[in-house]
Amino acid sequence: MQRHVDYAQRHGVDKDGGPARPFTDTGELTREQTSQFVDRSEPDRHSFRFIVSPEDGANLNLESYTRDLMQQMEHDLGSKLDWMAVAHHDTDNPHVHIIVRGVDDKGGDLVISRDYISNGMRERARELATRELGYRSDIDIYRSAAKEVTQERWTGLDASILREQQSRESGLIHAGKVHADPFRNAQRQLRLQRLAILRDHGLATEQMPGRWKIHANAPEAMRAMAQERRLATDLKPHIDAERSRRGLLADKDSLKAAPVQGVILDRGLADKLSGTEYIIVGGFDGQVHYATLSMHSERHMPERGRIGDTVELGTYTPPAATSADKNVLRRLRDGVYLPDVHLEEVKAWDPKRLPPNATPESYIDAHVNRMEALASRGHVTKLPDGTFRVPADLLARLDGDPAIARDKNAFVRLDVKAKGALTRQSQVIGRTFLDEQLAAGRLEQLKNTTIRTRTQVQFLDALEARADRLVELQLAQRTPGGVRLKTGFADELRDMERAMVQKHQVAGLLKPYLRAERSQSGLLADEKSLETSGPVQGVILDRGQADKRSGAEYVVVAGFDGQVHYATLSAPSERHLVERGQIGDTVTLDSYTPPVATAADKNVLRRLKDEIYSPEAHLEEVKEWDPKRLPGNATPESYIEAHVRRMDALAHRGHVTKLEDGTFQVPADLVERVNADPTLSDPKRAFVRLDVLGKGPLPQQSQVMARTFLDDQLAAGRLEQMKGATSRTRTQAQFLEALEARTDRLVALRMAERTPAGLRLKAGFDEDMRGMELADAQKRLASKYGQPVNLDVARRFQGTVEAIENLPSGPHAVIVQNGAFAVVPAKDGLQSQLGNTVAVQLAKGQSMNQAFQSVRIRFAAMDVLDKGKSLGLTRS
């Protein structure tokens, strides 16, 4: 919409060659009012765009004429219309661009029939022009037709001749008879002249003297001829500037055979009504290419191509399966898709998850329409109750259906290979499009080309400059056979790029934080630097969105090392935390590579019977679960299908064996085998992981009645180290004060004593502090939940998980039964059991403190009870 409005109100279209003057029914629109119209139009499902070009438009007041026309349209359609228009006087035929919003005066979708657009509106426009200017004289009609006789396009004169041919039983045009009426005879001569021109183009035949027939392909052929002529006109200045011999139309068919690489020379509107754009590319093949872009051509890119960018034009055919198909498969219950259940789920979503302008109802309607379309092709079955039986292999079926493949029309796709001028790319520190071309030997090929276009010369210069740059960086060398790139040059370039970002960009990002911290150094903390230099500990100063498209966040940490660190967090960075890190929290940033073995591998191992994994038995178990235990939007069926796909993948690599009955033979040491398989390891899987060491400001942590991060630092002698530093950042000073305050607190609690060598913690410190933390929590919660139970004495307790409390040492579950309650670490899935009944029991010889310190909870039993059935969460 915005691009069409920009085109309509471009400079130079007014009568005096000045800027456009958009208007509506109430008068001219200001720039702000025009922007408001565009904003109002954004949510609309569609809009209507017209070009009204009355004959003798120069003699009309186009603004008044357009207002009268729109008033008549409102009367015909029975609704007030929201519209804007711009009159153009920069052509031989003054005309008006009209844009009408796709909503009626009640807020519903505005519907205008094709017949009204093609005939009704045309007739209204003709009536108004006639009322204003009077009826056209014979001489006006003659002059108008005479202009069209030699034009290389499908004209109104052609259409009138064809209508006569279609109206006659013989299917022939009678043009031989001489009329006594001079006007009719003059019209006959024009028709004969036009038919002769169509004949010369092979589009009409004189079947007998005075009897003519226009060929069926004439309209399309003349339109193609007009397009070819426009194409030649548009390309000529670029062909001349490029010193190229030819221009080519790059369409789906030609690009499928051979994609085009080159530089964008120009782009603009190809169709004023639809907003379709054209693009002209100076190809590296020495030719100038013209392509028409569809609305899909650049949808995959965050920013469309600009003049000067290096691009590739190719074709793309969307996959047969749609996102709706995948959504349905994820929500199958016993192989059946339930639209009503899906609707209830979608109603609970954040509205931002829905596509633009969609409601939960319209979103589900789209899925139902897709299922009905697939049912008509026999891929799914619609059941009497409005549900659908869907096969698990739906996607494979769709990919193999040639009819569906034909429905997915290919389109011209544009990919930006590099932004900006070629010469600028040659100096970039980082992997570029030019590096790929050097590796492919394009420099030597271009040197051997005797005649080059302007773009080819610029391309050759850029390749030479890039080769020089890579040689300077010791990443390539020139040989008699050409430029040879160093082995591993891409990785080294990436390292150089990372170092440059760290040195220049991060310093700029961190400037305000460096000033506030009184720090000299800002560093980029990514998975590679953290793996090499070790973890970073410090306090979160800021966090926010780093990338709107991916949703990735950044975090700024003032390190206890005196430096300010900037890290980008990915989706898994805080997934293990009950609550993500907040500004002011004490955290650790580290590089983390997940184990190759997955949760699915471990789930399978826990369900082996005589080394056999049965997906059917697993499915029956999962169907008994509380749905809250399933991840995300998973169903029992999709959950088991994920496990089966994992087993199939491991069977392909020889780690498990798939049996004929669909079960799998799985070795007991599967996890060890998988972790040791180098083909399954992927170093790119490493990511920055954030762990919260302490919640809230450092002074607050110093007074906590529990084991804290500060205690670990005191035990490691950090207090003495910090005292020995000559200069400190703001966070280092706060850290030192917190360590001093924590020392005073522990001494006051008689949990530590000062010695000449530093602070010495009391024997049994951990267990005593843990006991104090639990006692403090129990005292605070007793008024709400009743009498606290000491599990060290009771050993076992059963009740309902009423709450999850965030204690200083981490999240704890509050389990309540009959006026008594127990507080236990919310580990190993217990935090997801809110509202369920659980039974916890300490192992023999184990204390609550030991249970807390274990990596896994070491309860002898933790059976989650629901409706009298165990949900299988027993831990040992």
Q: Domain residue spans in the chain?
A: 2-133, 138-216, 221-317, 323-407, 421-491, 510-593, 599-685, 697-762, 773-870
How many Å apart are CA 160 and CA 153, to the nearest integer? 14
Say whether pLDDT at 857 is over 50. Answer: no
Which among 385, 345, 296 has a CA at the least distance from the CA of 353?
345
Q: What is the pLDDT of residues 206-244, one digit of tens each?
A: 888 888 999 989 888 888 887 778 777 778 888 888 888
Q: What is the pLDDT of residue 629?
A: 75
| Residue 864 binned pLDDT confidence (cut-offs 50, 70, 90) | very low
CA 28 to each of CA 33, 60, 74, 84, 863: distance values in angstroms, whole numbers, following the listed order? 9, 18, 19, 9, 74
Of 335 and 627, the one with more pLDDT? 335
Q: What is the pLDDT of residue 851?
A: 57
Q: To the nearest whole percent, how much of the chain has pLDDT over 70?
A: 88
| 770's tokens | 């843990």
| Residue 667 binned pLDDT confidence (cut-offs 50, 70, 90) | very high
How many Å apart are CA 764 and CA 517, to the nearest integer? 38
Which among 569, 616, 604 has a CA at the least distance from the CA of 589?
569
| 103's tokens | 């909503």
DSSP-assigned beta bridge partners for residue 109:
103
| 149's tokens | 């006789």
- Among 77-81, 245-249, 368-372, 562-566, the minimum mean pLDDT is found in 245-249
Q: Which residues contact 743 (CB under 8 A, 6 or more apart)?
A: 714, 719, 752, 754, 759
Which among 732, 688, 736, 719 has a CA at the least distance from the CA of 520?
732
Average pLDDT over residues 589-602: 88
Q: What is the pLDDT of residue 52?
A: 84
Q: What single-letter DSSP state applies at residue 591?
A: E
How many Å apart are CA 226 and CA 418, to the nearest integer? 34
Q: Are strands 247-249 and 288-293 parallel, antiparallel or unpaired?
A: parallel
Say whether pLDDT at 660 is over 90. Answer: yes
Q: What is the pTM of this model?
A: 0.48
| 102's tokens | 């796709």
Say whether pLDDT at 146 is over 80. Answer: no
Q: What is the pLDDT of residues 342-396, one digit of tens each?
A: 999 999 888 888 887 788 998 999 899 999 989 988 999 999 999 999 999 998 8
Average pLDDT over residues 126-146: 66
**Tell me, which fold does domain 599-685 have in CATH?**
Arc Repressor Mutant, subunit A (1.10.10)
Q: What is the pLDDT of residues 62-101, one digit of tens each?
A: 888 899 889 989 988 889 999 999 888 767 678 888 889 9
For the 221-317 domain, the top CATH level (class) is mainly beta
Domains 2-133 and 599-685 share a fold: no
| 859's tokens | 């309860």
Q: What is the pLDDT of residue 361?
A: 92
| Residue 854 binned pLDDT confidence (cut-offs 50, 70, 90) | very low
The CB density around residue 421, as the number of other CB atoms within 10 Å, is 14
Alpha helices by DSSP H, 426-526: 433-439, 442-447, 454-472, 489-500, 506-509, 511-517
How many Å apart are CA 567 and CA 588, to the nearest integer? 11
Say whether pLDDT at 876 is over 50. Answer: no
Q: What is the pLDDT of residues 399-448, one digit of tens each?
A: 888 766 555 578 899 999 988 888 888 888 888 899 989 988 889 989 88
CB 173 within 8 Å of CB 161 = yes
Say whether pLDDT at 868 is over 70. Answer: no
Q: To the nearest whole percent, how much of the chain has pLDDT over 90?
A: 31
**CATH code linked to domain 510-593:** 2.40.50
| Residue 136 binned pLDDT confidence (cut-offs 50, 70, 90) | low
Q: What is the pLDDT of residues 451-500, one digit of tens each?
A: 899 999 999 999 999 999 999 988 889 988 888 888 888 888 887 877 77
**CATH code linked to domain 323-407:** 1.10.10
3-state secondary structure of 756: coil
Q: Which residues contact 613 (CB under 8 A, 6 or more apart)?
A: 604, 607, 647, 656, 663, 664, 665, 666
How many Å apart are CA 297 and CA 279, to the nearest integer? 11
| Residue 319 binned pLDDT confidence (cut-offs 50, 70, 90) | confident
Q: Which helix (H) or strand (E) holds 802?
A: strand 796-807
Average pLDDT, the chain: 84
How many Å apart are CA 456 and CA 467, to the nearest integer? 16
For the 2-133 domain, the top CATH level (class) is alpha beta
3-state secondary structure of 611: coil
Average pLDDT over residues 652-663: 93
Say whether pLDDT at 313 is over 90. Answer: yes
CB 717 within 8 Å of CB 689 = no
Q: Which amino acid is it at 142? A: Y
How many Å apart are CA 796 and CA 853, to the nearest integer? 19
Q: What is the pLDDT of residue 557?
A: 96
Beta strands in 633-695 (DSSP E): 657-658, 664-665, 687-694
| Residue 57 binned pLDDT confidence (cut-offs 50, 70, 90) | low
Q: What single-letter DSSP state applies at residue 353?
A: G
* Complete DSSP assignment for 758-774: EEEEPTTHHHHHHHHHH
